[in-house]
Amino acid sequence: MHAPNHNPLILSLPDEVATLAFGAALIPVLQPGMVVTLEGDLGAGKTTLVRGLLRGLGYGNKVKSPTYTLVEVHTVSGLNLYHFDFYRFNEPEEYVDAGLDEYFQGDGICLVEWPDKAAPYLPSADLCIRLRVDGDGRSAEVHAASERGALCLKNFQPLFSVSSNPIR
Ligand SMILES: Nc1ncnc2c1ncn2[C@@H]1O[C@H](COP(=O)(O)OP(=O)(O)OP(=O)(O)O)[C@@H](O)[C@H]1O
Ligand SMILES: [Mg+2]
């Protein structure tokens, strides 16, 4: 599923502020129409990352989790962002029944929590972000899953110091 020859980027996110900053740091590299999946257990920080991204774009309203609504639609700075959460699906066919496919066909950026719950129907991702609880904080792995995603990853510049392979 993942594009070969691209190592994942590994980030350490010691606190919520770091997760928010990570979300904001994605803004310059995301392109219209991209699909970003957000994997990780309950409470791993997926919604927090989306909140950071939206705030970074200038979105001033409360960012609600789409757990009950399946999708929250945001239009900010001329971009459409579709934030999904499929946690409550009992079976992936519910994705098809919900008629959500058209969100993935336009220029909106799709951010998807619990993508596994909609597999195999979910359109393929460009970037896969995996969040994990790591002590009091979180860690994140960013994988490119398409050529477009690989370009994103290449251009990504975290706004904070991160690396699993510190140079010193
Ligand atoms: N890097 C971090 N370090 C410590 N706490 C964090 C970090 N990032 C987010 N959190 C906290 O984790 C909690 C859960 O975050 P969030 O709601 O974003 O998780 P989620 O992955 O969306 O969960 P769910 O699967 O239930 O939707 C929040 O209280 C948030 O402040
Ligand atoms: Mg969430």
User: What pLDDT digit, counting tens, does each position of 8-30 carry?
Assistant: 999 999 999 999 999 999 999 99
Per-residue pLDDT reduced to its tens digit, 51-100: 999 999 999 999 999 999 999 999 998 999 999 999 999 999 999 999 99
At residue 7, what are phi and psi to the nearest 5 degrees? -75, 145
Q: What is the largest CA-CA distance in the chain?
A: 52
Entry pTM = 0.93
Question: What is the 51 CA–ligand 2 centroid distance (Å)?
Answer: 10
127-153 pLDDT, tens per residue?
A: 999 999 999 999 999 999 999 999 999
* Among protein residues, the one whose CA lies closest to atom 14 of ligand 1: 43
Look up residue 45 and give its two tokens: 């920080």
Q: Label residue 158 by pLDDT band (50, 70, 90).
A: confident
- Half-sphere exposure (CA, 13 Å, Cβ side) for 116? 5
CATH number for the domain that contains residue 77? 3.40.50.300
| 161 in a structural domain | no
Residue 20 lies in a domain: yes
Provide the pLDDT for residue 128. Answer: 98
In a domain, 168, yes or no: no
What is the CA(62)–ligand 1 centre distance, in A?
Answer: 15
How many domains is the chain built from? 1
Q: Which residues constitute the domain of residue 114?
A: 9-155
Q: Is residue 48 part of a domain?
A: yes
Residue 68 CB neighbours (<10 A): 9
Domain membership flag for residue 164 = no
Looking up tokens 């590994």 gives: 10
Q: Is residue 101 part of a domain?
A: yes
